[in-house]
Amino acid sequence: MFTIEHEFDASVITLVDEGSAPLREDVTVQAFDSEITFEQWDPRTDRISKITLSPEQLRDLTAALNLPEGIYRSTPKP
């Protein structure tokens, strides 16, 4: 399950793990113009872990999920 909310400066997506146990904490994705952040609560450290990607890194990650094993270089669109 996931939710999408559009705020003033970002779109916020929350991913809820509904798989089999053990379940993971929710992941919150915030998409801004210049960066995309992924946040997840870590109960072992009692802190939120955060990863920040550029729009280009997110584009490459999205493409990589649908490609076979190999080395690739993305080319900018004209």
Helix (H, G, I), strand (E, B) or coil at 59: helix
Residue 28 host element (H or E): strand 27-31
Q: Is the pTM of this model over 0.75?
A: yes
Q: What is the pLDDT of residues 34-74, one digit of tens each?
A: 999 999 999 999 999 999 999 999 988 988 888 888 888 77
Q: Which residues pair with 40 in a beta bridge?
A: 27, 49
**Is pLDDT of 76 > 80?**
no
